[in-house]
């Protein structure tokens, strides 16, 4: 059984400390420097953006992941350090070097991530000062501050921690994430950091993390834009007493299930907090010929601007939904497709056998007014299932992004 910890943070995992502070990168005076540190050497796994314009920190992390041991990650918000050339690469490395020196660890054991405006050089005089101060603020109670310091246009911090048993031993997985705009399913569409005390090999940690990302962060979309800085990290310090997970065992399955719980919860928090969003949109596809087909249909519906605006307008325009299903490129018989709008135990069928169905308009209007709207698409063509998460598209999305730099 997986139990969600009340008020869980990134430091709910034994052996990890964190801190968040205001360095002065943001003119608002809000927290903008975050540090997560493992008290003991840990192993790590990552998932990085597929955008060809990768930010300097992303390129550096792609090199550092080759190390056998890692100790933590430093993250700044307010500046993406993307499209900044050689100077940006040097600045990303210097951030790691300063933290490593302060903590007396190897430079390559420290990851770095940045989020914010693209195309500006980091204010290194400000950052250098912050980097020498933040290690003194580390604590096992610092999770909330660390999560706050990575926010940009986010309205809320995104955190979760769970515990579960492996062979009678308690294991914890905790996570924090940021993301509100530039969210699109193409890994990882945000920044996320997870910690665990599971005793697991680096190979199996990377295998489980990559698979989990595919069904969580890769299945969310706010606006169809994959960022230059998308990154997700997990650190495992091995402090739990479970037998080493080194293969596809029952212990691995239990760990992966808990990992999915954390990643999918964070993914849904990001989708719900989409810029200007008023509703969380969930699209569940069942009975697809393959997982790829199920995912392509779910993503097609979740990314459709016409579907998203219809959900914002609480408009039962099922034609937009079926159009998005048809654009997915999946294999199925259109004359067998069924579509429903759901919320909890209440379900209204809007498409029956590929055509419009008769439905209770008053009940459907009530469902569309809820803050969570679920679209269920049954392809009637196999045994695969996928779920994607997104949000509606409102007037405020345009306002937020039109004024982002000004």
Question: Residue 107: exposed, middle, or buried by beta-carbon count in 10 A (0-12, 13-18, 19+)?
Answer: middle
CATH class of 3-272: alpha beta
- Of 276 and 123, more confident: 123
Please tell me what DSSP assigns to residue 349.
E
Mean pLDDT of the chain: 91
Closest CA to 285 of 246, 234, 366, 340: 340
CB atoms within 10 A of CB 215: 17
Whether 280-402 and 3-272 are alike in CATH topology: the answer is: no
Q: Give me the DSSP letters along 291-348.
A: HHHHHHHHHHHHH-HHHHHHHHTT---HHHHHHHHHTT-----GGG-EEEEEETTEEE
Q: With contact defined as beta carbons under 8 Å apart, do 307 and 301 qualify?
A: yes
User: CA–CA separation, 333 vs 180, rounded Å?
Assistant: 36
User: CA–CA separation, 301 vs 315, rounded Å?
Assistant: 15
Residue 73: strand pairing partners: 36, 111
Per-residue pLDDT band for 399 (boundaries 50, 70, 90) equals confident
Per-residue pLDDT band for 189 (boundaries 50, 70, 90) equals very low
Please tell me what DSSP assigns to residue 385.
E
Helices (H), 17-142: 56-64, 85-103, 124-133
Chain segment 125-181, per-residue pLDDT in tens: 999 999 999 999 999 999 999 999 999 878 889 999 999 999 999 999 999 999 765
Closest CA to 43 of 261, 204, 230: 204
User: How confident is the model at residue 305, as a pLDDT?
Assistant: 87
Contacts of 150 (CB under 8 A, 6+ apart): 20, 34, 75, 77, 115, 176, 178, 191
User: CA–CA separation, 275 vs 223, rounded Å?
Assistant: 9
Q: With contact defined as beta carbons under 8 Å apart, do 328 and 356 qualify?
A: no
Per-residue pLDDT band for 220 (boundaries 50, 70, 90) equals confident
pLDDT above 80: residue 223: no
Question: Residue 358: exposed, middle, or buried by beta-carbon count in 10 A (0-12, 13-18, 19+)?
Answer: exposed
User: CA–CA separation, 304 vs 319, rounded Å?
Assistant: 12
Q: How many CA atoms lie within 13 A of 320 on its CB side?
A: 17
Chain segment 225-248, per-residue pLDDT in tens: 555 567 899 999 999 999 999 999
Domain parsing of the chain, residue ranges: 3-272, 280-402
Catalytic residue among 11, 13, 172, 189: 189
Chain segment 361-392, per-residue pLDDT in tens: 999 999 999 999 999 999 999 999 999 998 88
What average pLDDT does range 10-32 have in this prediction? 95
What average pLDDT does range 272-282 have in this prediction? 80
User: How confident is the model at residue 405, as a pLDDT?
Assistant: 57
Which tokens belong to 113?
A: 């991530």
CATH number belonging to domain 280-402? 3.10.20.340
User: How confident is the model at residue 256, as a pLDDT?
Assistant: 98
What are the binding residues for substrate? 152, 178, 189, 275, 401, 406
Chain segment 283-320, per-residue pLDDT in tens: 999 999 999 999 999 999 998 889 988 888 888 889 99
What average pLDDT does range 331-335 have in this prediction? 96
Q: With contact defined as beta carbons under 8 Å apart, do 254 and 344 qualify?
A: no
What percentage of residues in the chain have a pLDDT greater than 70?
A: 93
User: CA–CA separation, 327 vs 1, rounded Å?
Assistant: 39
What are the binding residues? 152, 178, 189, 275, 401, 406
Q: Is 189 among the residues known to form the active site?
A: yes
């Amino acid at each position: 059984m997986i139990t969600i910890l009340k008020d869980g943070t990134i430091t709910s995992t034994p052996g990890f400390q964190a801190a968040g502070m205001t360095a002065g990168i943001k003119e608002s005076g809000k927290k903008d420097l975050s540090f997560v540190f493992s008290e003991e050497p840990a192993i790590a796994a990552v998932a990085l953006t597929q955008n060809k314009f990768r930010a300097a920190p992303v390129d550096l992390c792609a090199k550092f992941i080759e190390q056998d041991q890692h100790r933590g990650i430093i993250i700044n918000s307010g500046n993406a350090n993307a499209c900044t050339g050689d100077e940006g690469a040097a600045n990303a490395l210097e951030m790691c070097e300063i933290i490593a020196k302060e903590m007396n660890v190897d430079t390559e054991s420290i990851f770095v991530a940045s989020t914010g405006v693209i195309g500006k050089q980091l204010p290194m005089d400000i950052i250098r000062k912050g980097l020498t101060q933040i290690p003194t603020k580390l604590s096992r109670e610092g999770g909330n501050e660390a999560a706050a310091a990575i926010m940009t246009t986010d309205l809320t911090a995104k955190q979760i921690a769970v515990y579960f048993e492996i062979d009678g031993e308690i294991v914890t997985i905790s996570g924090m994430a940021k993301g509100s705009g530039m969210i699109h399913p193409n890994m990882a569409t945000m920044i996320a950091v997870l910690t665990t005390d599971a005793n697991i090999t680096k190979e199996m940690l990377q295998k489980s993390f990559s698979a989990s990302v595919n069904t969580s962060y890769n299945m969310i979309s706010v606006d169809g834009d994959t960022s230059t800085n998308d990154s997700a990290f997990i650190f495992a310090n091995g402090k739990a007493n479970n037998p080493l997970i080194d293969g596809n065992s029952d212990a691995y399955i239990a760990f992966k299930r808990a990992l999915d719980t954390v990643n999918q919860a964070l993914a849904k928090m990001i989708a719900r907090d989409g810029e200007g969003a008023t509703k969380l949109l969930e699209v569940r596809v069942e009975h697809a010929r393959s997982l790829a087909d199920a995912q392509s249909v779910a993503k097609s519906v979740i990314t459709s601007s016409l579907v998203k605006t219809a959900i914002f307008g609480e408009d039962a325009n099922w034609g937009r939904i079926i159009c998005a299903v048809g654009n997915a490129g999946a294999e199925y018989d259109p004359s067998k497709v069924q579509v429903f709008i759901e919320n909890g135990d209440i379900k209204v069928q809007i498409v029956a056998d590929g055509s419009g169905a008769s439905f209770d308009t008053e009940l459907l209007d009530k469902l569309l007014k809820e803050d969570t709207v679920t679209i269920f698409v049954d392809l009637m063509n196999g045994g695969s299932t996928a779920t994607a998460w997104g949000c509606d598209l409102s007037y405020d999305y345009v306002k937020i992004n039109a004024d982002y730099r000004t």
